[in-house]
Amino acid sequence: MTMTDKDIEIINEITNQITFYGPLLIIISGTLGSLCNVITFTSRQLRFNSCAFYFLCSSIFDLFYLLFGGITRLMIDHFSNVLPNTSVLLCKCRTYLVVVIPSLSTIFIMLASMDRCLSTSNSRKWRNLSRINIAWRVAIITLVILMFSTSHILFLFELRAKDVNSNTYICGPRNNIYKIFISIYVFLIGPFMTYTIMFICTMITLIRIRTLKYRMGYSLNRRRKTIHDNMDRHLITLLFVQFIVYRQTTSTKIFTE
């Protein structure tokens, strides 16, 4: 059974509508969710909490990534007359930012897990590192280091003609060697290191909390003990799910497709 030109036209129209309204709904709902997170972490109770500060930074960069990455992708796909896909500057800057911004968001979540780990340490010296003034310094240093360490994207990405007749271009690495490097850098080294540290810090924190409760002689009834056990299991499960989902999404992520 062969498809007629009308069938192909209908399928193309449906695909066009899905690629337009789908990302639009994600941008709207994601923006509302990120704004709620920002409001929560800037509340008076959490304003001077270092862990909440890291989560706030992560939420802000999530919002930036959603707005910048989503809107520019939407404009390139559906409003090419407003934001053309033939701009070398747009190619370099967009690729750089869609790598840096989500990386910062993930790193700040990692820093939040490290902060929780430090706050439960037996050493007063390590606990003193879990303070808001320290968190500000760490945030600035992290921002500067990551921005400079990924600046190679601005120099080694370029526009290549995909179809000269239809004036279609793609933004990608300059050569095959750099393509292998950027794939390992973005999809393997960054996520692997970040989520490994998150996992280790979370497990250490849970062990320390359980040990502290045991030493202080907590006498919880069976119902409360079950609740805490469930909370611990949910936290570990959430961490594993987050790791798996992130690896799956980054493994299929394409910069400009």
Q: In order of start, what are the domains of the chain with their CATH numbers?
A: 5-251 (1.20.1070.10)
pLDDT digits (tens, 9 = 90+) for 43-74: 888 788 888 899 899 889 989 988 887 787 77
The DSSP symbol for 3 reads P
For helices 5-41 and 50-78, the axis angle rounded to 10 degrees is 160
pLDDT digits (tens, 9 = 90+) for 150-199: 888 888 888 776 665 656 677 778 877 888 888 787 776 677 788 888 88
- Residue 45 burial by Cβ neighbours in a 10 Å radius (0-12, 13-18, 19+): exposed
Residue matched to tokens 């799956």: 248
Structure tokens at 111: 């820093």
The predicted model scores a pTM of: 0.77
Q: Tell me if 171 sits within 8 A of 159, measured CB to CB.
A: yes
Cβ atoms within 10 A of the Cβ of 101, count?
Answer: 20
Of residues 256 and 32, more confidence is placed in 32
Instruction: Give residues with Cβ within 8 angstroms of 169, minimum separation 6.
Output: 85, 86, 91, 159, 160, 161, 162
Report the C-alpha gap between 235 and 55 in whole angstroms. Answer: 16
When the pLDDT of each residue in the chain is averaged and rounded to a whole number, the result is 76
Q: Tell me if 117 sits within 8 A of 131, measured CB to CB.
A: no
